[in-house]
Structure 1
Amino acid sequence: MRITITQGPFLPVPPLLGGAVEKVWFALGKEFARRGHDVTHVSRAHPSLPRREIIDGVRHLRVSGFTATPSPARRMPRDLWYGLRVLPHLPPADILVTNSFWLPVLARARRSRGLVYAHVARYPRGQLKLYRRTILQTVSEPIRQAILAEDASAAARTRVIPYPLSAGYFAPSPAPGAANTLLYAGRVHPEKGIRLLIDAFARLPEALRASWRLRIIGPWETACGGGGEQHIGELRSAAAPVADRVEFTGRIFDEAALIAHYRAARVFVYPSLAERGETFGLAALEAMASGCAPVVSSLACFRDFIRPGENGLVFDHRGSDPAAALASALGAFLADDVSINKLRRSAWQSSRAYTLEKIATRFLDDFAMLAGGPGLRPAKPDAGLISAQQESAAP
């Protein structure tokens, strides 16, 4: 099968600057290629990456993009301009996967580029009227419901296939010697609830707090989706009374380094407040696979894989004092090693349903059904396919 994957205009692939969507599709593309499919991955150019290269059997093409911006008024025209740049680079394909806003509209005029398969990674914002003839794939049941609320006619075209986890995240078992660390990993932005996490940690009984550390990993820079200098300054000020127990590491985009932090912690806290911003909670699932017990806010997206009291804890972030609710949940939990270890093991076992191999199979089965049914066979490499060395050297 010929599969083209296209990313948006703001983050490169490999995910040098982070990005859950970029990380996931980078891994899926390699898995598709490993199974014999012809895969092209188009993404934003970056100064440290060649415009063309082959990585683990995937042909990468990179097109000039833009620096990320929090302004929708600036994002939309940049996405359109980027989509117009990408169009000439799209090879003939059976399936065209894209998470770009405009590309599903721009690319559908020429069927030879592939059946458009739109990865809807966020709550829809009115764009579905433009995608009336497009397959829609999202990552959780709440987003599927939001899609159908916007366009009830999309039911037959919509499927839920969750994010996968690469093999490196799966610890052999929850490490018995992991430190008493509460870990957060993700963007350092006001909508992620980090301020309430710090406040909750400060409210823990002093004796309990003295035996735990809070480590916060993630970018605060606006170019990486963070809240900027003012926000990180506010967080550091809030943490000042317990500064000896709180650590801000900054951004860590290296996957091996991030996994090492997951495995060194016992509890992962993801207190997001983003009612319309979180679609899946990939960081929480990564932490579960690495051996952490997850503690999350009561956003709907976590319900697909976290069962309260069984493989994780959920606190009410919508009440009048969410920091108190989180502190109460943590206070009882952190003092009980038996409960922590029980939830760590259960969370680790639950994560096994999200292996890259299992999720890739679901995508490929869907692609085959859409593009031609079971008779469609994995593509053989084209006779004229140039070598990785030639491709990397191409202008």
Structure 2
Amino acid sequence: MKIVIIQGAFLPVPPILGGAVEKMWFFLGKEFAKMGHEVVHISRKVDSLPMNETIEGVNYFRVAGFATPKSGLILKIMDLIYTLRVRKLMPKDFDIVVGNTFWTPLVLKRNAISACMVDVQRMPKGQMKLYKNARCLRANSNSVVEAIKNELSEKHHHKIAMVPNPLPFIPKYEIDFSKKEKIILYTGRIHPEKGLDLLIQAYKKTSQNYKLQIIGPWEFSQGGGGATYLESLKVLAEDAAVEFLEPIFDIEKLNDHYIKASIFIYPSMAEKGETFGLAPLEAMSWGCVPIVSDLLCFKDFITHGKNGLVFDHRSDDAISHIVKLVHLLESDSRYTKKLASEALGVRETHSISNIAGLFIKQFEQTV
């Protein structure tokens, strides 16, 4: 099968500047190639990467893109310019086009649109009705499936497919729980919608026997909330044992933090933005017990009391809910190990090879 993957205008592949979607398709592309398929992967050009190269059987082509702007309108314009540049670079022969830009299913040539699997990684905002000519609308969670259905008439529902996101790496080590450290970890964008103010307020009410580490991009150009927001979190933390680390885009180095941490808290408040939650999945694969907000997307792979814990982020008492869950894990090592052991199950259910197989099956059904 001949597969073309089109990334967005703002981050390159390989994912040297981060990006959950870029990580995912970088590894899936290599897995498709390993399975014997022809893969072309198009992404943003950056100075440190050549215009064209081949890595593990995948042909990479890069197109001039942009730094992420603050304005949503400007972002859409930049995305259009980038997608038109991609159109000129598209190979003539393909079976499936995976589209990760807003404009891919709209401005590519007709044969590319009719072969396009639109990768819906965020909650749709009315644009699904524009994509009726696309081959397939791929949702990464059941919550996104329902959101897409709400934007389309029932006769188009057959185009919707749910394939979860994979782990963007293959875990190389077994977990020795005796070497876990007293660390509570958050990784992800440093942005108001992630609920970090809630996390810090809750942490300050715990025993603070565990250190809290917060790792992620804060600059606007990388999807963060900016320097002022980061500083407000540091002020909120005061003299508590909270460590703010610079973003880590090297997967192996980030995995080192997951390996050490015992608890992973992802308190996202993004009711209409959070669609999957890759960071909790990554943490679980390294034996961290996840504590997540009660967003629908997390229910696809986290069951409260089985392989993680869930708090009601909509409650006026959300902070005390987090405090109680942290205390539960700190005080009951046997229960913590039980949850962590169950969390490791994502190594199989969300492995790159397993999810790549699900995608290929979906591609074959739609060709």
CA positional deviation for 1:192: 0.5
Q: What is the aligned-residue identity percentage?
A: 43
CA contact (8 A) 2:84 2:108 kept: no
Alpha carbons of structure 1 residues 173 and 152: separation in structure 2 relative to 1, 3 Å: farther
CA positional deviation for 1:152: 3.2
User: Corresponding residue for 1:380?
Assistant: none
CA distance in 1, matches of 2:269, 2:228: 19
SS in 1 for 2:256: helix
User: Corresponding residue for 2:289?
Assistant: 293
CA distance in 1, matches of 2:109, 2:334: 55
CA positional deviation for 1:256: 0.3
CA contact (8 A) 2:171 2:347 kept: no
CA positional deviation for 1:171: 4.1
SS in 2 for 1:169: coil
CA contact (8 A) 1:171 1:291 kept: no
Please give the TM-score of this superposition, normalised by the length of structure 2: 0.96
Q: 2:326 aligns with which of 314, 330, 353?
A: 330
Matched, 1:353 2:349: yes
Q: What is the one-letter code of the residue matched to 1:201?
A: Y
CA contact (8 A) 2:140 2:165 kept: yes
Matched, 1:263 2:259: yes
CA distance in 1, matches of 2:164, 2:269: 21
CA distance in 2, matches of 1:129, 1:272: 28
User: Corresponding residue for 1:386?
Assistant: none
CA contact (8 A) 2:63 2:86 kept: yes
CA distance in 1, matches of 2:187, 2:129: 35
User: Corresponding residue for 2:210?
Assistant: 212
Matched, 1:95 2:96: yes
CA distance in 2, matches of 1:107, 1:222: 29
* Runs of 4+ deviating beyond 6 Å: none
User: Corresponding residue for 1:196?
Assistant: 198
User: Corresponding residue for 2:13?
Assistant: 13
User: Corresponding residue for 1:39?
Assistant: 39
CA contact (8 A) 1:121 1:138 kept: yes
CA positional deviation for 1:17: 1.1
Pairwise mapping of residues 307-386 of structure 1 onto structure 2 (< 5 A)?
307-371=303-367
CA distance in 2, matches of 1:53, 1:195: 43
CA contact (8 A) 1:168 1:259 kept: no
Q: What is the one-letter code of the residue matched to 1:149?
A: N
Q: 1:306 aligns with which of 302, 307, 311?
A: 302
Q: What is the one-letter code of the residue matched to 1:99?
A: N
Farther-moved stretch of structure 1 (361-370 vs 287-296):
361-370
CA distance in 2, matches of 1:127, 1:114: 17
CA contact (8 A) 1:14 1:26 kept: yes
CA distance in 2, matches of 1:331, 1:171: 28
Q: Specify the structure having the higher radius of gyration (Cα).
A: 1
Number of aligned residues: 364
SS in 2 for 1:110: helix
Matched, 1:141 2:137: no
Q: What is the one-letter code of the residue matched to 1:7?
A: Q
CA distance in 1, matches of 2:109, 2:354: 29
Alpha-carbon deviations, 1:24-76, whole Å to 9, x = none? 00000000111111100000100100000001110000000111123211111
User: Corresponding residue for 2:270?
Assistant: 274
Please give the TM-score of this superposition, normalised by the length of structure 1: 0.90
CA positional deviation for 1:174: 5.1
CA positional deviation for 1:108: 4.8
CA distance in 1, matches of 2:120, 2:261: 32
SS in 2 for 1:24: helix
Pairwise mapping of residues 133-172 of structure 1 onto structure 2 (< 5 A)?
133-134=133-134, 135-153=136-154, 154-169=156-171, 171-172=173-174
Alpha carbons of structure 1 residues 166 and 121: separation in structure 2 relative to 1, 3 Å: closer
CA positional deviation for 1:110: 2.8
CA positional deviation for 1:351: 4.0
Name the Cα RMSD after superposition. Answer: 1.4
Q: What is the one-letter code of the residue matched to 1:179?
A: E
CA positional deviation for 1:170: 5.9
CA contact (8 A) 2:219 2:226 kept: yes
CA contact (8 A) 1:186 1:283 kept: yes
CA contact (8 A) 2:27 2:169 kept: no
Where in structure 2 are there 5+ consecutive unaligned residues?
Answer: none
